[in-house]
Amino acid sequence: MKKINFLNFNREMISFLFLYFKEKIFVVYQILNWIYKKLCFSFNNMTNINIKLREKLNNLFNIDLPIIINTKKSVDGVIKWLLNVNGDFIETVYIPENKRCTLCISTQVGCIINCNFCSTGKIGFKRNLNVSEIIGQILLVNFLINKDNKLKSITNIVLMGMGEPLFNFFNVINSIKIMLDKYCFNFSKRKIVLSTSGISDKIYRLINYVDIVLTFSLHAPNNFIRNKIMSINKKYDIISVLDSINYYIYYSKANRGKINIEYIMLYNINDSKKNAYQLINLLKDFSSKINLIPFNNINNNIFFYKNSKNILNFYNILVNNGIFVFIRKIRGNDINASCGQLSGKLI
């Protein structure tokens, strides 16, 4: 019988399992402490768990992490890992900063959205990651940090790697529950960010399960431009997505009442002064925070960026009209670890 990866289970699932085993509830907390706090991935080494239970767990389950295939380190401290997850390849990015350290994790092998400016979509979509493959990225990096005291501890998680998280709905939700659980990773709801290209029906449902920071990858000030660069807009147009996000943040405490927007700057496509005023008009009825993202070059892409003045002009127009806006600092560009560059390829 093929063993099941124990990391697929959140605390509630493990509790039901142990009730079936007729085990005391405190054993659940002991095992979670071994895995998530002590980073112990062998039942045999969980010395305060009785031997019979350890044997039973060993017969049914394993605790397997993604396997590192390649490690790339940027001049700015960013690290990118190419990982093998059950025969498929994904990428995970570690981004250290002065006061925090962010881990960017993947939720799918490839991506079904296939935005024109993104490397991940060019490889196509293969499958969703399961819970163990999603949280296994965090556990693996925590294990590496534990071995190397020069690496900062992770303070923030962003689901912005390969894939559209909301098209892997329940696996992502169960993963987030493990991230939030004080007996597991114990991250604050304001330290977990889910970035979506805008799947309206899933956004309406999301708040029923978890409350974390939601970010909308908008990238265009109108449907005409967005249809050209993001085909998903033909099914979920801008207004329908903004309405669903407005519903989400009404009930969310993590988002503090603001719609978080990501806007990639594409030269002569969405970066003109006219586009800036269109964006202002689009968001006039919403409290928003905008991240302007300079386009990061990738191989075989029709887009490029050659005029950073456009970004600054765009930024100034938004600021002068009362928009809360940042220009995202480019990190890990020399190792293809920046926004839109993840491809999960052996290169």
Closest alpha carbon to 314 in 262, 285, 284, 279: 279
Catalytic residue among 101, 115, 184, 339: 339
Closest alpha carbon to 331 in 145, 102, 157, 120: 102
Catalytic residue among 91, 133, 164, 262: 91
- Cβ atoms of 74 and 337 within 8 Å: the answer is yes
91: annotated active-site residue: yes
164: annotated active-site residue: no
Active-site amino acid positions? 91, 339
